[in-house]
Amino acid sequence: MMTVVVVCIALSVAAFEIVYFAFFALGLPGISSLNELYFEPIDFVILAGSIIVGLMIASVIAVRIAKRILRPLRSVEQALRCIAQGDLSARALQDEHGPLEAAGLIDDFNNMADRLEQASKNISIWNAQIAHELRTPLTILGGRLQGVIDGVFEPDDRLIANLMVQVENLKRLVEDLRVVSLVDSGHLDLRVSRIEPAQEVRALVDLVQPRLADAGFTVIADGDGGEALLDASRLRQALLALIENARVHAPPGKLLIRSRLSEARVRFEVVDEGKGLPKDFIPIAFAQFARAEASNQRLGSGLGLSVVKAIAIAHGGDASYSQKNGRSTFMLDLPRWG
């Protein structure tokens, strides 16, 4: 806009000079010499005419520039109205003749609209996925309890144990959803303290050893000595999710759980002898509700790895996957001292 103002002033001055010199060159009566220090009436007429001509030219240019500015703004306004009415696919159109500032505004607006539309789609997907994951255990619970009421099933220890499994599945699903949501909103509070990562790994292996042994796994714990500043509870939750992922998806065999310390970082690894993740699935392995298709079966809720990622991010770290020499390795890389 400063450029427009300068151009208008320059045009006004130029118009005055051109008109005045034209009259002076024609030798019209009443035109005072350029060296004279006083003005004749005709000088004021010429000055007024020059100003009017300059303003007319400046007005024409200003109107054209204003239209160039307003066209993209009207496009943004129209897109905003559509979005407000529920059409999240509406976008503002670029004007190749518009100013660079307006082009930048439209780019930012369209990027914002893209994120808004994607967020809306994610909410719909989340609702559908949550309903799907809750339906299975609730259906089993409802069916078994109705069977007890109707006298079809006896409320023996086996039935109660089966119902408790479904209750635990529901509790785990709700907790996973809570963790992911808290991290997304930036409200997951960590209770960090000085812990020994190697000791945490050994304690965790002792906890899961019986269940994994029944599934045919030989669990090996390994770790570097030393301390780190971490949330022990969230760390166990993340490692348990990785171990459960290996139990469900990897073939029976050796399962290595280890910790590695450096001066500034601590890394946890869960290594199995599975065939690994499909290449097209690796980029989205840690996404919410992401599940690889295998043998037409969909195992797990699809939240385990996203919980691992969420806990890593809450610590200021990251989670990743690699495959080498026939082994799959899931890694949790965290700052050692918070």
Q: What angle do CA 320, 127, 119 make, to 5 degrees?
A: 65
Residue 272 has pLDDT above 60, yes or no: yes
296-333 residue pLDDT tens? 444 555 677 888 998 999 999 999 999 887 788 999 99
Mean of the per-residue pLDDT values of the chain = 81
| Percent of the residues in the chain that have a pLDDT greater than 70, as a whole number | 81
| Greater pLDDT, 6 or 95 | 95
- Predicted local confidence at residue 302, as pLDDT: 64
Q: What angle do CA 137, 142, 144 make, to 5 degrees?
A: 95
Q: Could you tell me whether strands 218-223 and 254-261 are parallel, antiparallel, or unpaired per DSSP bridges?
A: parallel
CATH number of this structure's domain 193-335: 3.30.565.10
177-227 residue pLDDT tens? 888 888 877 788 889 999 999 999 999 999 899 989 999 999 999 999 899
149 conformational bin, left if phi > 0, alpha if psi -120 to 50, beta if neither: alpha
Residue 294 has pLDDT above 60, yes or no: no
Domain locations along the chain: 2-98, 125-185, 193-335
325 conformational bin, left if phi > 0, alpha if psi -120 to 50, beta if neither: left
| Distance from C-alpha of 77 to C-alpha of 83, rounded to nearest angstrom | 10
Residue 288 has pLDDT above 80, yes or no: no
Residue 144 has pLDDT above 60, yes or no: yes
CATH number of this structure's domain 125-185: 1.10.287
Residue 138 has pLDDT above 80, yes or no: yes
| Distance from C-alpha of 234 to C-alpha of 307, rounded to nearest angstrom | 10
